[in-house]
Amino acid sequence: MNTDTSAPRKLRVATVSLAGCFGCHMSFLDIDERLFELIEHITFDRSPLTDIKTVGPCDIGLIEGGLCNAENVEVLRAFRANCRVLVAVGACAITGGLPALRNHLDVGDMLQAVYGTVPDDPELPLPLNKVHPIHEVVRIDHSLPGCPPPADAFWQLLQDLIAGREPALNKGLIRYD
């Protein structure tokens, strides 16, 4: 006999910052006390906010930042493999963002200029030749534009996904700056 009368299963959400500044995560936290309501409906997998080291099967993956090095690409692919719905969050994930201003410079010259002797330990991920938006490497289901996206845009997206609706940003929640 099934005696389970508990609330519906919580959605599992993973988040990560690739070539990001953590500003999108801060804007996410700007939903303030609504976090208490949110945590009734979701539980966090790998995220800078948890201690989980590798991403497991999830309902939603929120990706902040573009791709600037080899580790970013590996992590992004792991998120795509594990997340049912993958969301590009912020200008960097969607366009490459301001870090992509380095794309007109030679990456070797840049490292030389900054370090003199360039760190070459194999533990360090090699930088990519150019910074790329994440949709150039994996399929993306939804995008939250903004640098960062407004807190209300995170709230709207998660409310829609929790309710099983196709996410739609109201006018005023779409901005690029």
Partner 1 sequence: MSSFSFDGQPVPLQPGDTILQAAQRAGHEVPHLCWHPEVSSSASCRVCTVRVDGRPAAACTTAAAAGQRVDCHTADLRAQRLHLLQMLFVEGNHFCPGCEKSGHCLLQHQAERAGMTDLHYETLNPERPVDASHPDVLFEPNRCILCQLCVRASDELDGKQVFAIGGHGIGAHLLIDSASGRLGDSALSVEDRAAHICPVGALLPKRVGFAVPIGRRTFDDEETRG
Where does this chain bind partner 1 (CB under 8 A)?
88, 91, 94-98, 100-101, 103-104, 130, 132-133, 135-136, 140, 142-145, 147, 150, 152, 169-177
Smallest distance from the beta carbon of 51 to partner 1, in angstroms? 31
Residues 128 and 159 sit within 8 Å (Cβ to Cβ): no
Nearer to partner 1, 11 or 174 (CB): 174
Nearer to partner 1, 47 or 90 (CB): 90
* 168, HSE (Cβ side, Cα atoms, 13 Å): 6
Smallest distance from the beta carbon of 131 to partner 1, in angstroms? 9
Smallest distance from the beta carbon of 120 to partner 1, in angstroms? 27
Smallest distance from the beta carbon of 104 to partner 1, in angstroms? 4
Q: How many CB atoms lie within 10 A of CB 47?
A: 18
3-state class percentages of the chain: helix first, strand second, coil last, to nearest 5: 35, 20, 45
Paired tokens of 63: 């990706």
Residues 128 and 69 sit within 8 Å (Cβ to Cβ): yes
Nearer to partner 1, 100 or 161 (CB): 100
